[in-house]
């Protein structure tokens, strides 16, 4: 009985979501320009999204827990900041932002993703072998949540070679770390950076700027997103909207059933670990769908070939 009722419920929900979705998408230049300029004037991701030696001098102060604790940038940490903002004076023609949704499983989107000039991925996802055909391999920027270092690599307190070897698949991409988002992230992120340097990895670690994150949170809040924390996916999409002419999103579908086949999906294309409750993924998805409808970005749902 539940099977029938549940299927009816899922198909109703998904049909409602899909009413707003059109495969025949066309970029609306005016809407794209307007949204990009709103984002730029509110958040300045172009030259503020990433910490640099120019925008964050030694002694800069970051506050945590509503001001209960703080951190002053030390010369040692400062020396790990990139000198120049990687996006300044640069725009890319086409960017692919790859979320980790199970919707990518068997999607055959790999080639299309890899054809983008700049490819952004989230949370050091597995690539290669059986995944390549569906998610691609090209990576220009990949984020890493420090909890990955803690859970998978024993906080990098022991042998670090396995961690550095796991980065080979991302070749010389930028590794974007929220090192200054929480005070306790700083030491583990420093160990990650030193491991990358000591083992000669070509990856280029850079830090998210907490000030940019606050501005971006306020930006989306004003549009109705009241989650505890923005998801990595919407942060990457926001950066892409400032630095890319054409933004394509893949792997964004925070629902349990496939939009076309309605069959069950895992949360990720590589496992079924559930989304964190601090995020409001369906609300985020609704906002991204709105941008798709306005021709600001293209959300890819379903298979690619
Ligand atoms: N995503 C999605 N649908 C899913 C899974 C993920 O839209 N079923 C998107 C989300 O925007 C998410 C991104 O893909 O932020 C990366 O996925 P994941 O690694 O699962 O991110 P989380 O661990 O949930 O969280 P965080 O955003 O805190 O890194």
Q: Which residue has a Cα nearest atom 12 of ligand 1? A: 233
Question: Given this model, what pLDDT does residue 6 score?
Answer: 58
Query: How far, CA to CA in Å, does 31 sit from each of 68, 91, 242, 246, 252?
Result: 41, 18, 13, 12, 21
Q: Distance, CA 75 to ligand 1 centroid (Å)?
A: 34
Mutate to test the pocket of ligand 1, among 113, 177, 231 (most ligand atoms within 8 A of CB): 231
Backbone torsions φ then ψ of 65, nearest 5 degrees: 50, 50
| Residue from 97, 101, 181 to probe ligand 1 pocket by mutation (most atoms less than 8 Å from CB) | 101
191 C-beta neighbours (distance < 10 Å), count: 18
190-199 pLDDT tens trace:
999 999 999 9
Is 134 catalytic? The answer is: no
43 Cβ contact list (under 8 Å, min separation 6): 49, 212, 215, 216, 219, 238, 242
In order of 30, 75, 206, 242, the CA distances from 174 in angstroms are: 31, 22, 7, 17
Dihedral angle of Cα 38, 40, 42, 46, to the nearest 10 degrees: 160
> Which residue in 85, 279, 292, 300 is the catalytic one?
279
Ligand 1 geometric centre to CA of 72 (Å): 31
The closest alpha carbon to 35, from 249, 286, 289, 241, belongs to 241
Q: What is the pLDDT of residue 5?
A: 58
Model confidence over 140-172: pLDDT tens digits? 999 999 999 999 999 999 999 999 999 999 999
Q: How far is CA 150 from CA 123, 156, 158, 159, 189, in A?
A: 13, 7, 11, 13, 10
DSSP lists the bridge partners of residue 233 as: none
pLDDT, one tens digit for every residue, the chain (305 residues): 555 555 565 678 888 888 878 778 999 999 999 999 999 999 999 889 999 999 999 999 999 888 889 999 999 999 999 998 988 778 999 999 999 999 999 999 999 999 999 999 999 999 988 999 999 999 999 999 999 999 999 999 999 999 999 999 999 999 999 999 999 999 999 999 999 999 999 999 999 999 999 999 999 999 999 988 999 999 999 999 999 999 999 999 999 999 998 899 999 999 999 988 888 999 999 999 999 999 999 999 989 97
Residues 137 and 173: beta-carbon distance below 8 Å? no
Ligand 1 atom closest to the Cα of residue 98 is: 14
């Amino acid at each position: 009985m539940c099977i029938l009722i549940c299927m009816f419920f899922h198909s109703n929900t998904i049909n409602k979501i899909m009413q707003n979705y059109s495969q025949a998408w066309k970029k609306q230049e005016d809407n794209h320009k307007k949204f990009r300029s709103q984002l730029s004037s509110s958040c300045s991701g172009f030259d503020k999204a990433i910490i640099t030696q120019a925008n964050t001098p030694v002694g800069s102060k970051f506050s945590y827990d509503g001001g209960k604790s703080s951190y002053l940038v030390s010369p040692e940490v400062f020396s790990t900041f990139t000198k120049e903002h990687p996006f300044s004076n640069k725009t890319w023609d086409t960017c692919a932002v790859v979320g980790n949704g199970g919707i990518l499983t068997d999607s055959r989107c790999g080639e299309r993703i890899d054809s983008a000039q700049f490819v952004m991925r989230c949370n050091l996802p597995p690539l290669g072998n059986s995944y390549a055909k569906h998610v691609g391999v090209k990576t220009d920027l990949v984020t890493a949540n420090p909890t990955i270092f803690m859970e998978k690599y024993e906080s990098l307190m022991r042998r670090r070679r396995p961690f550095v070897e796991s980065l080979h698949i991302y070749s010389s991409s930028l590794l974007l770390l929220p090192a200054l988002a929480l005070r306790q992230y700083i030491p583990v992120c420093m160990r990650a950076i030193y491991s990358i340097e000591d083992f000669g990895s070509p990856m280029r670690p850079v830090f998210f700027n907490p000030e940019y994150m606050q501005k971006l949170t306020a930006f989306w809040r004003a549009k109705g997103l009241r989650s505890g924390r923005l998801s990595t996916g919407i942060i990457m999409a926001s950066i892409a909207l400032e630095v890319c002419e054409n933004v394509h999103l893949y792997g964004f579908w925070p629902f349990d059933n496939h939009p076309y086949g309605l069959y069950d999906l895992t949360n990720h294309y590589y496992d079924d670990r559930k989304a964190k409750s601090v995020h409001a993924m369906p609300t985020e998805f609704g906002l991204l769908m709105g941008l798709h409808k306005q021709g600001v970005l293209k959300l890819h749902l379903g298979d690619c070939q």
